[in-house]
Amino acid sequence: MDAKNNTKQFNTDPAKGLDQSEVESNRKEYGYNEVAENKSNVLLKFLSRFWGLTAWMLELIIILSWFLHRYSDAYIVLGLLLFNAIVGFVQENNAANAVEALRKKLQINVKLLRDGTWKTLPARELVPGDIIRIRIGDFVPADIKISNGEISIDQSALTGESLEIEKKTEEVIYSGSIVTKGEATGMVTLTGANTKFGKTIELVKIAKPKSHIDEIISKVVKWLLLIVGVLLFIALIVAFLKGINILGILPLLLVLLLGAIPVALTAMFTVCMALGSKELVKQGVLVTRLNAPDDAASMDILYVDKTGTLTINKLSVAKLLAAKDYKEDDVLLFGALASQEANHDSIDIAFINAAKEKNILNDSFIQKSFIPFDPQNRKTEAGIKKGNAEFNVMKGSFNVIAQVCGLDEKAKAEWETKVNEFGKEGFRTLAVAKANINDKPQFVGLVALHDSPREDSKQLIKEIKDLGISIKMLTGDALPIAIEIAKAVDIGNTIIKASELKNADKNIVELLEKNSGVAEVYPKDKYDIVKAFQANGHIVGMTGDGVNDAPALKQAEVGIAVSSATDVAKGAASIVLTQEGLVNILGPIKVGRMMFERINTWILNKIARTILKTCFVVVAFLVLGKFVMTATALLIMIFMTDFVKIALSTDNVKWSQSPAKWNINGLAKIGIVIGLLMTIEAFGLLC
């Protein structure tokens, strides 16, 4: 439901607000201002660990052992089944609860008007139609249409836009934004799951990355069962020809099944990933989902967020343009003098820092007065004294400063052209003016501001590309800003708008693959992009820091929250970086690829040794007519080989320069050849 259209449904008296009966009526229709939490049954989650191919095979072995009165074997296999179930259950519950973090965001108090009286109530109590008051520093708890006042908001956590947005009367402010300047009164239009913020929560709830580990284990089990099936079929034919009772084959079936089930593979994965996670902690990387390094090893597409990831998320001066009779340093100096560091305003800080870097701002300038930015006049002013001289300075919107200075139409048109050029380059432009006491202000020049790239971003992107990963950018910022940043860090300059994807239909992945990134995206766009690549067989990585990134972070196999990320983003991600920027992103990729090599070696070893053990038992049965190995003996061998070889999780290996690709079919073929050679060797030694 669109917020603007929704306001037509309410006829709230702006002087009195809703009365109690209207509140109750609206609450019945729209509910509380919260997102319902779906709690899963812990017992059912645990019981689900006993469902699946590996679990079924172990359960079959338990039943078969009990039928053959091999109770000790049944108890041992039951222990293995419980071990695997407990390990999987604990791993699943280690993931952070992102939805809960999102819900807690709404647990704040708001000032609202009801029955003609202003009250302070929890944001949960808000209903559509309520009149509320928001001011600087407030977290916007619902979608609101402004009825009185003008404010500036930071909605970077929601949309990814790095610059402050000005909102005036009749405009809608979205839940999840933060008020940075001004005050306003407005009407609540949407609450809870109907807001943009709430819809983001819903996306996080349904987002679920595919478990590649379960898929790998399933493929290994299928291959081993195929091998066992072929050998058992041969044994049955020979037994039938020799007139052996078919029930006499059951102990052989038990032995073969025990040899085929890779009961230690889950433990191998878990130990490998636990050791990898421990290593990553030393590198400043926290893993919230244990299998994240494994997914990082296979990642072939990485989408990076711009704000706070590729950039420093701090405005800085990009360009200066001085008017006649002034220098660029004058533009910067007067702009800095019209700023105040104590305000912690991002624009003021950008001017002051740039002036200090050039050593043009010193203690000889004394700020006698200061009028902070006001959305109504859209400028800041200051009275300055230097020695015996006094003058006024101001900075703000070009149109406002041009009007104050009285620029003629020709001059205004010329400067406006420059402002538009800066805008195409992705810069935010402010004008600066100076006035001697009792004189008319003079236009000094223009200052272009931007969120500059991090110093290490360009080199880091090169290193990621060298590891065979295609890296692209996603941002909520405007197209010109996205293009400039993408070019600056060598991602590329072919950036498209998110709106173009809607017309791509089935060619969305092809369009994304041939472009360097997407601008002007919303949370749903990021989520859809990740799912589109996953549907085409890609292993997708996604970086982010805001609420807007949470659904995509949760859906991606490798969701990476940067150090400055909100709690929501960190809760949704599988990897959290503790240092600024993306410098630590290489760690999970390299550690994950080393883990891949170690697990690959274990699987190859398991297949080869399964061939050895099962072939040896079957051939011996066919030749000698008896079992040369009991189920108990085979269980002991499993512990002596499969579990002992978990030590491979610390093997010294090198990471690959290309994404890891699981090729279980290829491993199986190699393992069969090696296993047959080992069987021949074993019989040779026996003879």
Which of 287-301, 308-322, 435-449, 495-509 tops mean pLDDT?
435-449
Two tokens, residue 508: 């969305």
Check whether 394 has a pLDDT greater than 70.
Answer: yes
CB distance 657 to 467 below 8 Å:
yes
Reduced DSSP (H G I as helix, E B as strand, rest coil) percent helix, strand, coil of the chain, to 5 = 55, 20, 25
Backbone angles phi, psi at 336, to 5 degrees: -70, -35
Write the pLDDT tens digit of every residue in 213-229. 777 777 887 888 888 78
Q: What gap in Å lies between CA 269 and CA 297, rounded to an integer?
A: 13
Strands (E), 136-247: 143-154, 165-167, 172-173, 178-190
Write the pLDDT tens digit of every residue in 452-508. 888 888 899 999 999 999 999 988 777 888 888 888 889 988 999 888 887 766 678
CB distance 616 to 683 below 8 Å:
yes
CB distance 550 to 544 below 8 Å:
yes
What's the pLDDT score for residue 351? 93
- From residue 571, give the alpha-carbon distance in Å to each of 160, 460, 529, 559: 18, 25, 20, 10
Q: What gap in Å lies between CA 225 and CA 262, rounded to an integer?
A: 10
What's the pLDDT score for residue 405? 92
What are the catalytic residues?
Answer: 305
Give the model's confidence band at 139: pLDDT under 50 very low, under 70 low, under 90 confident, else very high: confident
Ramachandran sector of residue 230 (left: φ over 0; alpha: ψ -120 to 50; beta: rest): alpha
CB distance 594 to 292 below 8 Å:
no
Write the pLDDT tens digit of every residue in 37-71. 556 666 777 777 777 666 777 787 788 778 777 77
Q: What gap in Å lies between CA 516 and CA 267, rounded to an integer?
A: 40
What's the pLDDT score for residue 542? 92
Cβ neighbours of residue 615 closer than 8 Å, sequence gap 6 or more: 231, 675, 676, 679
Q: What gap in Å lies between CA 166 and CA 153, rounded to an integer?
A: 6
What percent of the chain clears pLDDT 70, i.e. is strictly above it?
Answer: 84
Give the model's confidence band at 98: pLDDT under 50 very low, under 70 low, under 90 confident, else very high: very low
What's the mean pLDDT when you consider all of the chain? 80
Which amino acid would we find at residue 447? V
- From residue 374, give the alpha-carbon distance in Å to each of 136, 163, 181, 325, 401: 12, 17, 8, 29, 14
What percent of the chain clears pLDDT 90, i.e. is strictly above it?
Answer: 16
What's the pLDDT score for residue 462? 92
User: Is the pLDDT higher at 233 or at 332?
Assistant: 332
Check whether 322 has a pLDDT greater than 90.
Answer: yes
Which amino acid would we find at residue 296? A
Query: Which candidate, 404, 345, 339, 330, places its Cα nearest to that of 370?
Result: 339
Give the HSE-up count for residue 173: Cα atoms under 13 Å, Cβ half-sphere.
38
Q: Which domains does the chain have, with CATH numbers?
A: 3-30+101-206 (2.70.150.10), 210-272+594-686 (no CATH), 280-311+453-590 (3.40.50.1000), 313-452 (3.40.1110.10)
Neighbours of 32 (CB within 10 A): 16
What's the pLDDT score for residue 100? 47
398-401 long-range contacts (CB < 8 A, ≥24 apart) are: 398/429, 398/430, 398/431, 398/446, 400/431, 401/431, 401/432, 401/433, 401/441, 401/443
Q: What gap in Å lies between CA 29 and CA 35, rounded to an integer?
A: 15
CB distance 153 to 172 below 8 Å:
no
